[in-house]
Amino acid sequence: MLKCGIVGLPLSGKSTVFNVITRAGAEVKPYASGKTEPNRALVNVPDSRFDRLVEIFKPKSEKPADVEFVDLAGLSRDAGKGAGLGNSFLSFVSESEALLHVVRVFKNDSVPHPENSIDPLRDFRIVEAELIYRDLGVISNRLARLDEKKAKKKLTPQESAELDLLRELEAHLLNELPLREFPLTDEQKRALSGFAFLTLKPELVVLNLDDTQTGDVAELSGLEEEMTRKGLKSVRVYGATEMELEQLDPADREEFMRDLAISEPGRERLIHEAYKLLGLISFFTSGTDEVRAWTLREGSTAVDAAGTIHSDLARGFIRAQVVAYDDFIANGASIPACRDKGVLRLEGKEYIVKDGDMIEIRFNV
C-alpha cells in the first residue's frame, strides 16, 4: 500500500489539505492541538480510462487504484532535536513513501502563525531543516556503532564502504542540503533503503493560498526561486475554499473553479501530482467479473505486475497478454480486433510494463 505523508508547520493547513484530498472530514482548527495520532484515509486515484473500462465490461465488481494519505501532527522548530512532539512525529513520516509539504501562504488574522508572520520561504526552510536534523541523527547513531565496532575488530568491506558513504552524507547534511541532492547510484540507494531517510523521499510542495492570492503572488517570490534551484515541484491549492468546494454540488463547483482559473479540482490535481512524483503508473486487469486498476513503479516488469496481483501469478508466470488501453479503444474495444491488428501481444518476464497497459497473466502453478 502506497503511503503519502503530509508535513508542515502547525496551522499551515495540513488537515485542510488532507480533507481536500480525501473528503474525510478531519478536524480543522485555528489552534495547535497536542494530538500525535495521525489522520489516515485511502483515496481512489481518479482515472478516466478506468471509468471507461467499467462502462465497457460492466463487471460484477470494480476496484480503482488507491493511495493512502496520512495527515501528521505539525512539525515545529527543533523537533529534530527532540523539541515538541519530536521523534514520535518523525517516526510516522519515515513510514511514508512520499511527502506532501504544506506551506502556509494564506493570510488569516484569526489563525495564529507559530512564527508570528507570513513568510513561506522561512517556513519551508524550517521544516526542511527539521527533516535534515532527523536524518543526521540516524546517521550519527549508525556511525557511532560502526566506529565502536571498528575499534574492536576489522570491519567487513561492506561496512567500510558504508562508513565512508555515511561520512560523506553527514557532511552533505551538515551543509543543510537534503540527501535527494546528493548523487547516489542505484546500488547505494538500495543499500541505504533500510534507513528510511526523510530527505531522500520524493517531496511535493503544496502552497496553501487564500482565494484572493491568484496570479503572481508577492509572498511566493523567494520560495518559488528556491524550489526552482532545488528542482522541487509545487502545486497551488486554495485550501479553505477547495475544502468547501468538495461539499458543493458539481455545477456550483465548476463555476467556482472557473472563477479561480483552476482546471482540475485540488483533489484530483494533488492525487495526480503525487502519483507522478512517485514515478507510478497504472495497469488494468479487465473482464466481466472484475475491472481493476493496479499501481506499479515505473520500470517494473511483467513479473512484477503479476506479483502485484498475486504471488502465485509471479511464481507460475508463463506469459503476459498485453494491449495498450489506447489501442484497445481505437480498435472498438474488441480483443479479437486487437489480435487481428497485431496490437495484442504476448510478452515475457522481462517486458517493462507501460502506463495504461491492459494485462492478462498466463500462469501455471
Ligand X SMILES: Nc1nc2c(ncn2[C@@H]2O[C@H](COP(=O)(O)OP(=O)(O)O)[C@@H](O)[C@H]2O)c(=O)[nH]1
> What minimum distance in Å lies between the beta carbon of 245 and ligand X?
12
CB atoms near residue 284 (< 10 Å) = 21
Q: Please, which residue, 10 or 120, has the CB nearer to ligand X?
A: 10
Cell of 357: 497497459
> What's the count of helices (H) and strands (E) in the chain, helices before strands?
14, 12
Q: Please, which residue, 24 or 184, has the CB nearer to ligand X?
A: 24
Site residues for ligand X per CB under 6 A:
8, 10-16, 28-30, 74, 106, 108, 111, 208, 210, 238-240
Please compute Rg for the chain using Cα positions: 23
Burial class (CB in 10 A: 0-12, 13-18, 19+), 68: middle
Q: Please, which residue, 92 or 238, has the CB nearer to ligand X?
A: 238
d(CA 271, CA 330) in angstroms, rounded, equals 27
> What minimum distance in Å lies between the beta carbon of 125 and Mg ion?
21
Q: Name which of Mg ion, ligand X, none residue 335 binds, using a CB cut-off of 5 to 8 Å depending on partner kind.
A: none
Q: Please, which residue, 56 or 111, has the CB nearer to ligand X?
A: 111
Q: Name which of ligand X, Mg ion, none residue 240 binds, using a CB cut-off of 5 to 8 Å depending on partner kind.
A: ligand X
Contacts of 298 (CB under 8 A, 6+ apart): 279, 280, 281, 355
Q: Please, which residue, 111 or 136, has the CB nearer to Mg ion?
A: 111
> What minimum distance in Å lies between the beta carbon of 18 and ligand X?
7
Buried b (16+ CB within 10 A) or exposed e, 168-207: ebeebbeeebbbbebeeeeeeeeebeebbbbbbbbbbbbb
> What minimum distance in Å lies between the beta carbon of 299 and ligand X?
35
Q: Name which of Mg ion, ligand X, none residue 8 binds, using a CB cut-off of 5 to 8 Å depending on partner kind.
A: ligand X
Site residues for Mg ion per CB under 5 A:
14-15
> What minimum distance in Å lies between the beta carbon of 211 and ligand X?
8
Q: Name which of ligand X, Mg ion, none residue 29 binds, using a CB cut-off of 5 to 8 Å depending on partner kind.
A: ligand X
> What minimum distance in Å lies between the beta carbon of 110 and Mg ion?
16
- Return the residue nearest Mg ion (CB atom): 15
**What are the two backbone dihedrals, phi and then psi, of residue 272, each rounded to the nearest 5 degrees?**
-65, -45
Helix (H, G, I), strand (E, B) or coil at 252: helix
Helix (H, G, I), strand (E, B) or coil at 34: coil
Q: Please, which residue, 68 or 347, has the CB nearer to ligand X?
A: 68
